[in-house]
Structure 1
Amino acid sequence: MERKKWRGQFDFIMSALSYVIGLGNLWRFPIMCYRNGGGTFLICFLVITLVAGFPLLYLECCLGQYGSVSVVSVWKVVPLFQGIGWTMLVCSWSLAIYYNMLIAYAVFYIATVVTEEEPWKTCGHWWNTASGITQMGNLRTEMALCLFCCWVLIFICLCKGIDSSGKAAYITATVPYAIMVAIFTRVIPLEGSADGVLYLITPKWELMVQPKVWCDAAVQVFYSMSICSGGIITLASYNRLGNNCLRDAIIIAVADCLTSILCGVVIFAILGHMANNMKVSIDAVLSRGAGLVYVVYPAAIADLSMATTWVVIFMSLIITLGIGTMVRTQ
C-alpha cells in the first residue's frame, strides 16, 4: 500500500521544525555555552553544524523521502545495517518515557501559579526536602493527573495520523517563536541583561584547543537537530518524491541554529538580570541549583511586573516545545 503523503507543501517543514526545536535549544544549549566558554562553544557549535550536522540532516531527509517507508524498513537497503533502524526506534521510545514528564512539570506549574502561591517563592511544604533515596515517598496525585493530561493531548494530536499531527505542527512550530520574541522584548531592557548577553557571546579563545569543547558541541548539534534518532527519516518518508529536500534541510538547519542563539540570548539576559539583583556573578547564579528551567528562570521572572503572567507564558513555551517534539517522536 502506498504511503500517505503530507497534504500541504509546508507540512513537512513545520513538522520537522516542531520536532528538532525543543528543550535542547531552550535548556541544554545555554548550559553548554556556560560550561564551555560562551562564545567559544557558539563558534564550535556553528562549525560542527556546517560540516557534520547539516550534511547528516540532508542525508536523513533524502533517505526518508526516497525510501518512503518506516525508519526500520528503510535500512533494509543495506541488510547489515538493519539494527540501526531498531536502535533509532529504541532511542525514540526512551525519549518519550522521560520527555513527557518534563512537559507535565510545566503543566503543574501553570496549574499551581493560577490557583495558589507560586511554588518557587516558599519552601514550607514537606516534599521540598527529600527524606533520602531509600524512601520513595507518596504518590503525587496532581503530578500523575498532569502527566495523564499530557498523554491525552498527544493522543489528540496523533489520532488521525499525519493529517492531525500536520495541523498541530503549525501551532507547535510557530507559537514558541511568538513566545520567545515576547520574552526577548521583555527581558532585554532589564538592568543587567546586557552583561548576561555579553557573557554568552564573549569567546574564551584558550578553550578552542580543548577537545572537550568540540565534543560537547558535537553532542549538542546531534541532540539539537535530532540527528540519528529516526524522527527526520520518518517525517521525510511522507514527502512526495519530487519534493526539494535540500531546501527543506537548509531551512531546518538554519532555523535550529537561530533558535538556539535566540534561546541563549533570552536565557542569559534573564540570568544577567538575576545576577544584578543578587549582586553576584553569573557563575554564582548558575551554581545555585539544578532545576535551571523550573527554578532559576521562574524565580527571576517572578521579580518582574505581572510576574504570574510571564511565568505562565514561559511554562507555555516549555509545553509547546515539548509537545511538538513528543508528537513527532511518536
Structure 2
Amino acid sequence: MPSYSYKVNSNGSGSTQPMESEVEVVEESERGHWGSKAEFLLSCIGLSVGVGNVWRFPYLAYENGGAAFLFPYIILLVLIGKPMYLMETALGQYSQLGPMNVWRCAPIMQGVGVAMVVLSFITAIYYNQLMAYSLYYMFGSFASEVPWARCDPNWADSNCFEVGGIYPCSRYNLTAPTLTVNCTTKNESSASQFWT
C-alpha cells in the first residue's frame, strides 16, 4: 500500500497537497517450525549422539579406568554438559536465530558462534568420509568375492594369509624345527591387512 506525505508548496501559499512517495517493502520469510515434538526431540538426539558416542566412548572408558572414568564423566556431564546444552537449545528456540547470530546478545561471545559453525563443517567432512567408506564397502561386500578375501600383492606383505588357504610348511620353516628356532611368525589374515 503506498504511503502519502504532505509538504508545503514551493509558492509560499502555505496550502498542502498530498504527494505520493515510494516505499520499499521488505518481506521477511517466516522461519520454519518443528512439525511435532518428536521431530524436535529426534533432531536433538541426532545432534548429541554421534559416531564418537557409539565408537569412541567405550574405548575411552576402557583406556581410562572403566568405572573409575564414568564417575567424573557423569559429574561433569551433569554440571557442565547438560546446562550448556540446555542454554544453547533455549537461546536457539527463543531467538529463532542461527549459531552465528544468536550470540549477538553478548558480543564477547560471538566467537562461540563462529567456532560452532567451523566445528560443524569439520564434523560434516569427517562424517561424510565415514559414510562414504560404509557405502563403498557395503556395496563391495555384495560381490561374489570380496577384495579382502585374498592376499593382493599391492597391499599385502609376506605375513598375509588367506583364511581357509593351504600353505606349505616351507613357508614357515617348520620342516626341521629345533629348539633354537623361533617359530612365532606373526601372521595376519588378508582382511586384517586390508583394513590396516
TM-score (norm: length of structure 2): 0.60
| Residue 120 of structure 2 corresponds to residue 92 of structure 1 | yes
Q: What does residue 109 of structure 1 align with?
A: 137
* 1:44-88 deviation per Cα after TM superposition (whole angstroms, max 9, x unaligned): 222221111111111111111111111101011112222221121
Choose from 86, 98, 104 the match for 1:58. Answer: 86
Please give the secondary structure, in 1, of the residue aligned with 2:110: helix
Please give the secondary structure, in 2, of the residue aligned with 1:53: helix
* 1:200-231 deviation per Cα after TM superposition (whole angstroms, max 9, x unaligned): xxxxxxxxxxxxxxxxxxxxxxxxxxxxxxxx
Q: Match of 1:11, as an amino acid?
A: E
Contact 1:3 1:69 in 2 (8 A): no
Please give the secondary structure, in 2, of the residue aligned with 1:24: helix
Q: Match of 1:82, as an amino acid?
A: Q
Q: What does residue 82 of structure 1 align with?
A: 110
Q: Match of 1:115, as an amino acid?
A: A
Determine which structure has the larger helix proportion and give its number. Answer: 1
| Residue 78 of structure 2 corresponds to residue 41 of structure 1 | no
Q: What does residue 28 of structure 1 align with?
A: 56
Choose from 3, 8, 31 the match for 1:3. Answer: 31
Q: What does residue 313 of structure 1 align with?
A: none
Question: Structure 1 residue 121: deviation in Å?
Answer: 4.4
Please give the secondary structure, in 2, of the residue aligned with 1:126: coil
Question: Structure 1 residue 119: deviation in Å?
Answer: 4.6
* 1:14-66 deviation per Cα after TM superposition (whole angstroms, max 9, x unaligned): 11112222211221101101210112222222222111111111111111111
Q: What does residue 172 of structure 2 align with?
A: none
Higher-Rg member (1/2) = 2
Q: Match of 1:112, as an amino acid?
A: G
Question: Structure 1 residue 120: deviation in Å?
Answer: 4.8
State the distance in 1 between where 2:143 and 2:153 align. Answer: 16
Task: Give the number of aligned pairs.
Answer: 134
Change (3 A) 1:46 1:120: farther
State the distance in 2 between where 1:47 and 1:123 align. Answer: 49
Contact 1:67 1:74 in 2 (8 A): yes
Relative contact order higher in (CA < 8 Å, ≥ 6 apart): 1
Seq. identity, %:
36
Q: Match of 2:120, as an amino acid?
A: S
Change (3 A) 1:47 1:122: farther
Change (3 A) 1:295 1:42: farther
| Residue 42 of structure 2 corresponds to residue 14 of structure 1 | yes
Choose from 114, 117, 123 the match for 2:151. Answer: 123
**What are the ranges of 5 or more consecutive residues in structure 2 without an aligned counterpart?**
1-27, 158-187
Q: Match of 1:37, as an amino acid?
A: G
Change (3 A) 1:51 1:108: same
Q: What does residue 311 of structure 1 align with?
A: none
* 1:98-151 deviation per Cα after TM superposition (whole angstroms, max 9, x unaligned): 22011111111211111143455443251457xxxxxxxxxxxxxxxxxxxxxx
Structure 1 range deviating more: 78-87 or 27-36: 78-87
Please give the secondary structure, in 1, of the residue aligned with 2:43: helix
Please give the secondary structure, in 1, of the residue aligned with 2:37: coil
Question: How do residues 129-140 of structure 1 correspond to structure 2 at under 5 angstroms?
Answer: none
TM-score (norm: length of structure 1): 0.37
Question: How do residues 245-324 of structure 1 correspond to structure 2 at under 5 angstroms?
Answer: none
State the distance in 1 between where 2:123 and 2:74 align. Answer: 25
Q: What does residue 143 of structure 1 align with?
A: none
